[in-house]
Structure 1
């Protein structure tokens, strides 16, 4: 079955270049010139991944990424002419999975598409993790404890999902940054501590199913208490 890639960019040269390269790589390429057109296409076409330009008329790349995130379970790569850390941060907050700065090598886009499709491929089987009365669902991004449902900020959710999927394993801050924020992340490792602190504050009073422990000098481990 052919993999459908949606390319959204108001620059026709970029559309043409990416179309040629990805078609040669064996993908079916669907093009949109702006965010509104992209959302219309997604209603009727099953796309496996979206490549979204940041600067577009009507709806910018951040807004489109959020809209895709809310409705579809597909990876998003954001294209941008800017290389500012603030833009990257906004992109990741909007829910993008990866980031590519223009001008880029079409081959690099291919690599990133392949890597993301591989990562998303593994999700359906392991998209729900249960520990005691706690259920965490990667498709709906919900955490359920008994009959209560919680929606977490994206990175907190991904951190908790990763730790619950790998209980009783010690991870360094560096490993967690790589897993959750990606290799390109240029922020501080203390980000991990902040997110762990928030998760502890949220769940310590709500459940005894799990506990996130600090392993001195190394990082963190999630301990599971099976009833």
Structure 2
């Protein structure tokens, strides 16, 4: 089921990085018509230079780039400041897609893709960066989340979370003790009724690495075998 497009954030700047001029032109054209300000770069160094000149609100980043691949570009950008990233990849292998998610990509699209779908995914990711109407503080088990400021703390120390990790943590804190399937989380956190569920698995694993005292023996984000995940506001028995 196709989702309805929303108006893009006013002045939102999207950096499109792809060495294929045809793909870059098509993607940039669709984003431009959707109301975004679009910058383009054909390789990793050019992308970093563009980002330095005008920091983007979101990056559409090809995985396979000459000289410096998209994974390294993503790492370097994320090392400077948080920025949402949607990976483009011609590879069908799941390991390559998971690599992109592991370095912090918020979403990915596999070539060939529908430019319309890509615009919807851009809108979905950017929508998550906007302030929520329910801006009350969330807290449990030494964790605290401020949705308005987009800040998360563990025992008073700020957590470095990607957009999706932040939203996933906030969702768990809003619904302690409830079990959610990966399909539920894909719909509620990503805003999609369909998608590769390994995206959820990878983000849960990354989030555990940042909020659990021992990610190999998680006490907060627990696996309910055959069903999904449950957030325990009061840490209980270890369930990997």
- Using the size of structure 1 for normalisation, the TM-score is 0.72
Instruction: Supply the distance in 2 between the matched residues of 1:153 and 1:89 (Cα, whole angstroms).
Output: 15
| Aligned match of 1:111 | 120
| Aligned match of 1:202 | 214
Q: Is the CA contact 1:95–1:154 (under 8 Å) kept in the aligned structure 2? A: no
Q: Bigger CA drift: 119-128 or 80-89?
A: 119-128
| Aligned match of 2:57 | 48
> Is residue 224 of structure 2 the alignment partner of residue 185 of structure 1?
no
- Listed one character per residue, the Cα deviations across residues 166-191 of structure 1 (whole Å, up to 9, x for unaligned) are 14351323324655687433549988
Instruction: Supply the distance in 1 between the matched residues of 2:32 and 2:168 (Cα, whole angstroms).
Output: 35
1:112, distance to aligned residue in structure 2 (A):
1.1
In structure 2, stretches of 5+ residues that fail to align are 1-9, 235-240
158 and 103 in structure 1: CA distance in 2 versus 1, 3 angstrom threshold: same
Q: How many residues align?
A: 218
1:103, distance to aligned residue in structure 2 (A):
1.8
1:143, distance to aligned residue in structure 2 (A):
3.8
Residue among 168, 175, 178 paired with 1:170: 178
Q: Is the CA contact 1:9–1:33 (under 8 Å) kept in the aligned structure 2? A: yes
43 and 223 in structure 1: CA distance in 2 versus 1, 3 angstrom threshold: same
Q: Bigger CA drift: 210-219 or 38-47?
A: 210-219
SS at match of 1:135: strand
Q: Is the CA contact 1:170–1:215 (under 8 Å) kept in the aligned structure 2? A: no
Report the aligned-residue RMSD.
4.2
144 and 66 in structure 1: CA distance in 2 versus 1, 3 angstrom threshold: same
- Using the size of structure 2 for normalisation, the TM-score is 0.69
| Aligned match of 1:75 | 84
123 and 53 in structure 1: CA distance in 2 versus 1, 3 angstrom threshold: farther
Bigger strand fraction = 1
> Is residue 133 of structure 2 the alignment partner of residue 121 of structure 1?
no
Larger Rg: 1
> Is residue 13 of structure 2 the alignment partner of residue 4 of structure 1?
yes
97 and 60 in structure 1: CA distance in 2 versus 1, 3 angstrom threshold: same
Instruction: Supply the distance in 1 between the matched residues of 2:199 and 2:106 (Cα, whole angstroms).
Output: 19
- Listed one character per residue, the Cα deviations across residues 4-28 of structure 1 (whole Å, up to 9, x for unaligned) are 1100011111122222222222211
